[in-house]
Structure 1
Amino acid sequence: MEVFAAAGFAGATIDAIGQAAGFTKGAVYSNFGSKDELFLALLDRQFEQRGAVIAGAFGSGAGDLAATTAAVSRSMLDSIHAQRAYHLVYFEYWLRAVRDPHLRDQLVERSRAAADQAVQVVAQAEPTLSGHQLTGLAKLFVAMTTGIAMEEILQPGGIAVADLERLLTALLAATPAE
């Protein structure tokens, strides 16, 4: 992901990516048909890792809404700061995908998978919410995280943890159990 972040998606070459990973260009192409395919595989791994971090944050609240939102808020901002390179490349790829229907479909599929993972995480932390409510919350959470990442990368420290806690608390509190 670092090579993509340093050179941009278009500027990153398979040679440079392979070299950074300790592989030859041929070895990279033997596993991935294209640079897009390689990037999407890296994106899948990022989504899984970020999902595990968020799961830990949701699980740490032990059912207490205030503790959960505090942990998730801190975790979200820490992850954004630690994964700046990932977010830069994701935004660049998002723009690319918006303009290419095939890439858009692939990115939408991965975004749905990330939202589905968020549904599972929240269902364990907040069992009173129905599947329908969780699906809506997960989509909002993924979209909100993307927007927050955009602002935090542009203006590091611009979003206060306390403000994010209030937002998450309001979002969860406004979603009544069915």
Structure 2
Amino acid sequence: MYPIQSCIVTATDLERPKRRREATVERLLDAALDTFAEQGFAAASVEDVCSRGGFTRGAFYSSFKTKDELFEALMTREVERDLARVAELLTGLADEPDPLAAAVDRVLSAFRCDRTWALVVTEYTLHAARHPEAAAVLRRHDEQVGGRLAALVDRTAAEAGLTFTLPAAELIGAATALLSGLTAMSLTAEGDLEPLRRAALLALVRGAVAPAPPSP
């Protein structure tokens, strides 16, 4: 008979496969980010992603069914990081001399807008324009992120004593359209568009703030 100890499965033993799978997924996402930016989403193959990450096709298909599912996981990871940082940064605005300017600066510092990510998102948006299932991925993502950002805006506005003239969801939609356009411009523009991004977003937000009621 085997010793009874050999039959005991510890929590650590059960966690090891989970941690290995999580590490594999992270490496696949890192490889996908670089591959999609370099080759474009449509041109890049599953094999290209696996080769860059040092994996076999089997490792890929043990975690993802399709390349679109891989992209959705990549976008979720990147945006979750940004949202967590925004939620942390949008505190204490009431103590700022200019809460709106502070909010804009903090949001712009939190959301990823480097060339690599801009290329990846732009490439997938073009892909989605021709493939309904990919368009559904972006719509689902936009709805989820938009709802969470709107809740953050409402909370932040209440803490800072501000009132907007339109619903937070509409303000988020307008800001997203503005920043998306500037991000696309940045891929071919000469010079730094960061000052324009800040000025445009700040103007949009200031224009959406209701004037303070007159003092009695």
Quick check: 85-94 or 115-124, which moved more? 115-124
- The residue type equivalent to 2:41 in the other structure is F
1:42–1:166: structure 2 CA closer, same or farther, 3 Å change rule?
A: closer
Q: For 1:12-161, list aligned pairs within 5 A.
A: 12-59=44-91, 61-62=93-94, 64=96, 66-73=98-105, 75-76=107-108, 79-81=111-113, 83-127=114-158, 133-155=167-189, 156-160=191-195
1:115–1:171: structure 2 CA closer, same or farther, 3 Å change rule?
A: farther
Matches of 1:133 and 1:96 in 2, distance apart? Answer: 31
Deviation at residue 59 of structure 1 after TM alignment: 2.6
Deviation at residue 114 of structure 1 after TM alignment: 1.4
Contact 1:119–1:138 (Cα < 8 Å) also in 2: yes
Partner SS, residue 59 of structure 1: coil
What is the RMSD computed on CA atoms of the aligned residues?
3.0
After TM superposition, the score normalised by the length of structure 1 is: 0.80
Deviation at residue 98 of structure 1 after TM alignment: 1.6
Unaligned runs of 5+ in 2: 1-32
Matches of 2:44 and 2:69 in 1, distance apart? Answer: 14
Contact 1:63–1:126 (Cα < 8 Å) also in 2: no
1:20–1:63: structure 2 CA closer, same or farther, 3 Å change rule?
A: farther
Partner SS, residue 55 of structure 2: coil
Deviation at residue 12 of structure 1 after TM alignment: 1.8
Matches of 1:120 and 1:17 in 2, distance apart? Answer: 36
CA deviation vs aligned residue, 1:40-80 (integer Å, no higher than 9, x gap): 11111122122223333433524648244335336426745
Residue 205 of structure 2 is aligned to residue 173 of structure 1: no
- The residue type equivalent to 2:70 in the other structure is L
Partner SS, residue 84 of structure 2: helix
Partner SS, residue 173 of structure 1: coil
Structure-1 residue corresponding to 2:36 = 4
User: Matched residue pairs, number?
Assistant: 175
Structure-1 residue corresponding to 2:24 = none
Contact 2:128–2:134 (Cα < 8 Å) also in 1: yes
Contact 1:9–1:93 (Cα < 8 Å) also in 2: yes
After TM superposition, the score normalised by the length of structure 2 is: 0.67
Matches of 2:128 and 2:181 in 1, distance apart? Answer: 17
Structure-1 residue corresponding to 2:14 = none
Matches of 2:73 and 2:90 in 1, distance apart? Answer: 26
Contact 2:86–2:110 (Cα < 8 Å) also in 1: no
Contact 2:85–2:110 (Cα < 8 Å) also in 1: no
